[in-house]
A and B are shown apart, each in its own frame.
Chain A
Amino acid sequence: GAVVSQHPSRVICKSGTSVKIECRSLDFQATTMFWYRQFPKKSLMLMATSNEGSKATYEQGVEKDKFLINHASLTLSTLTVTSAHPEDSSFYICSARDLRTPYNEQFFGPGTRLTVL
């Protein structure tokens, strides 16, 4: 299947700083990527849909000014957690839709574990 990478895999930062997470589709172009948040032993919660060349679509309750999403190219979307606080600590996973597959399958990145001290 298609390959999606995320960087960094782990990040620890101080409260008040900003953290950028990158999501890349390595062997295909992705006009649409998704950002999820996952708490321990919980399901994936969709935060936003990232569309190449246009503004992201945020889910209800997700602060767009806190979670900045940029999808500047067909292979890269970034999520920036601004002014991070301990409650932002979580596992963040991106996915990219591969239009070459029969059902436009979503392939997931390996995730980024964010810890805010």
Chain B
Amino acid sequence: GENVEQHPSTLSVQEGDSAVIKCTYSDSASNYFPWYKQELGKRPQLIIDIRSNVGEKKDQRIAVTLNKTAKHFSLHITETQPEDSAVYFCAASEGFQKLVFGTGTRLLVSP
């Protein structure tokens, strides 16, 4: 089955800096890669996603890149703000199948 690894587990940046979180997946059949943001005690919220027919997708300060050959994808947050502090999870799935989540990255943005 699919296995998703995520790094780093924690990431501390200063406000205004960029943050990059990386994930690798094992199943070459996976073709959907969403990213979720989860604040303490709250539900995961989808922030951006990408399908395997696209190499990059951007939404304001957030972007995701995908390298199908290497089987890895990354989340890029630019101009970080304190409200970006949360736990971020990557995930992978094949079509409409179940999502397999990464282990999570705790992002702390200091003012």
Instruction: Indicate if the CB atoms of A103 and B32 lie closer than 8 Å.
Output: yes
Residues of A within 8 A of B36 (CB): 108
Residues of B within 8 A of A1 (CB): 46
Sorting the interface of chain A by its residue count into under 10, 10 to 19, 20 to 34 or 35 or more gives 20 to 34
CB within 8 A of B96: which of A42, A97, A109? A97
Min CB distance, B11 to chain A, in Å? 15
Given A103-B51, A105-B49, A44:B44 Cβ within 8 A? yes
Given A93-B44, A104-B96, A109-B43, A43:B103 Cβ within 8 A? yes
Sorting the interface of chain B by its residue count into under 10, 10 to 19, 20 to 34 or 35 or more gives 20 to 34
B101 interface contact, C-beta 8 A:
yes
Given A93-B43, A103-B32, A44:B49 Cβ within 8 A? no
Given A44-B89, A44-B101, A108:B43 Cβ within 8 A? yes
CB within 8 A of A43: which of B34, B96, B101? B101
Min CB distance, B86 to chain A, in Å? 13
B98 interface contact, C-beta 8 A:
yes
Add 6 more A-B contacts to A44-B89, A105-B34 (CB < 8 A). A1-B46, A43-B101, A46-B98, A105-B46, A106-B99, A107-B46
Spell out B's residues near A (CB within 8 Å): 32, 34, 36, 41-46, 49, 51, 89, 96, 98-104, 106
